[in-house]
């Protein structure tokens, strides 16, 4: 195996090539991201009470993590803005928060949409 390259760009190319040439490694790690995502999602849901904060709905298929003060509030600047949805890294950051319940809540899909309209949290309101 060749020595590890110094620059980050070259290292990135090196890793892509290495992964391409080692399909057994890809097969071994295929489900890990999925497992981490669901583990952190369950942890966040548990810490937020596993139910809608308004109507107490408990079916997790309809529960959504809501930013209490709206996604664009400065209190959420520590979270990555570029991610669409809640990826594994996003959920991990949320799960590690000590003040989780002060910034986030669980809402059912209906109440989350109602809140978004009432607080004008959509892009077309900002025009």
Q: Report pLDDT for 31.
A: 72
| Full pLDDT tens readout for the chain, 127 residues | 455 545 656 667 787 788 788 888 777 777 777 788 889 999 999 999 999 999 999 999 999 999 999 877 888 888 876 555 567 778 888 899 999 999 999 999 999 999 988 888 766 555 5
Q: Report pLDDT for 83.
A: 53
Domain ranges, ordered by start, for the chain = 31-126
- Residue 63 pairs in a beta bridge with 108
Q: Report pLDDT for 6.
A: 56
Q: What is the distance between the alpha carbons of residues 89 and 69, in angstroms, rounded to a whole number?
A: 21
Which pTM value belongs to this model? Answer: 0.70
Q: How many CA atoms lie within 13 A of 15 on its CB side?
A: 8
Class of the CATH-defined domain 31-126: alpha beta
Q: How many CA atoms lie within 13 A of 7 on its CB side?
A: 3
């Amino acid at each position: 195996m060749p020595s590890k390259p110094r620059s980050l760009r070259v290292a990135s190319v090196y890793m892509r090539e290495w992964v391409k040439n080692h399909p057994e490694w890809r097969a071994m790690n295929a489900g890990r991201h999925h497992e981490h995502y669901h583990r952190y999602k369950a942890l966040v849901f548990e810490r937020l009470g596993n139910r809608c904060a308004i109507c107490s709905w408990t079916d997790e298929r309809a529960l959504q993590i809501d930013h209490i003060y709206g996604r664009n509030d400065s209190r959420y600047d520590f979270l990555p803005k570029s991610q669409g949805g809640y990826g594994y890294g996003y959920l991990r950051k949320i799960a590690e928060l000590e003040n989780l319940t002060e910034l986030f809540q669980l809402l059912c899909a209906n109440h989350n949409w109602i809140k978004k309209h009432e607080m004008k949290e959509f892009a077309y309101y900002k025009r």
